[in-house]
């Protein structure tokens, strides 16, 4: 494949999905560096335009070249608007859910029932209900408008899950970087 033809719907969809998938998996993590090894020259140019830097190149048999590209957090600061550079600076979570709350929310986003979630997490159904109450309380403390007009439990849950689908950083391990003094 010498070039990506985004005019073809299947290729464009695959390219968009793979990029969104990559962003989904790294979103909310505190990255220090990214590395990519590529061979086709057009991929090298594309990645350079998106913020990656050539670390080294190795000539291969047949006239091909293996290129190792890298991007560190410090290098990303120099070009914060390039596509790959933005992965280093995800938005901070607004609600700071606990690990247990994050697990419950992940199962809920996957459509797993509370009963099945309780079995999977080795908790009682009452413990699951308590976690949901904790989640709602945490949200109401941080954002009084998100759940203010919703009175039913099902409506509150739908609203929370709808919000989370657009804000995946809430379900990622996020730690504030400590600055040395």
DSSP state of 106: H
Helix (H) or strand (E) holding 36: strand 33-38
Q: Is 60:51 a contact under the CB 8 Å cutoff?
A: no
**2 within some domain:** no
What is the phi/psi pair of residue 111, to 5°?
85, 15
Q: Where in the sequence is the domain holding 103, given as residue range(s)?
A: 99-171
Tokens 């070039």 belong to which residue? 3
Which of these three, 88, 109, 126, is where a domain ends?
88
For position 176, what pLDDT does the model report?
Answer: 54
What pLDDT, on the 0 to 100 scale, is given for residue 181? 46
25 with 65, same domain: the answer is yes
In a domain, 137, yes or no: yes
pLDDT at 81: 84
Nearest residue to 165 (alpha-carbon basis) of 8, 27, 13, 1:
27
Task: Confirm whether 82 is domain-assigned.
Answer: yes
In the structure, what pLDDT confidence band is assigned to residue 5 with cuts at 50, 70 and 90? confident
pLDDT confidence tier of residue 42, bands split at 50, 70 and 90: confident
């Amino acid at each position: 494949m010498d070039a990506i033809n985004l005019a073809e719907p299947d290729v464009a969809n695959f390219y968009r999905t793979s990029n969104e998938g990559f962003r989904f998996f790294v979103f909310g993590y505190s990255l220090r560096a990214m590395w990519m090894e590529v061979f086709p020259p057009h991929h090298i140019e594309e990645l350079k335009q998106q913020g990656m830097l050539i670390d080294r190149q190795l000539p291969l048999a047949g006239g091909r070249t293996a290129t190792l590209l890298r991007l560190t957090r410090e290098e990303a600061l120099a070009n914060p608007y390039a596509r790959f550079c933005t992965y280093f600076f995800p938005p901070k979570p607004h609600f700071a859910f606990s690990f247990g709350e994050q697990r419950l929310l992940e199962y809920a986003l996957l459509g797993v029932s509370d009963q099945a979630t309780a079995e999977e997490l080795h908790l009682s159904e009452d413990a699951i209900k308590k976690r949901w109450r904790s989640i709602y309380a945490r949200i109401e403390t941080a954002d009084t408008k998100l759940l203010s007009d919703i009175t039913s439990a099902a409506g509150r849950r739908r609203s929370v899950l709808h919000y989370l689908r657009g804000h995946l950083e809430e379900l990622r391990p996020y730690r504030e970087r400590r600055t040395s003094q």
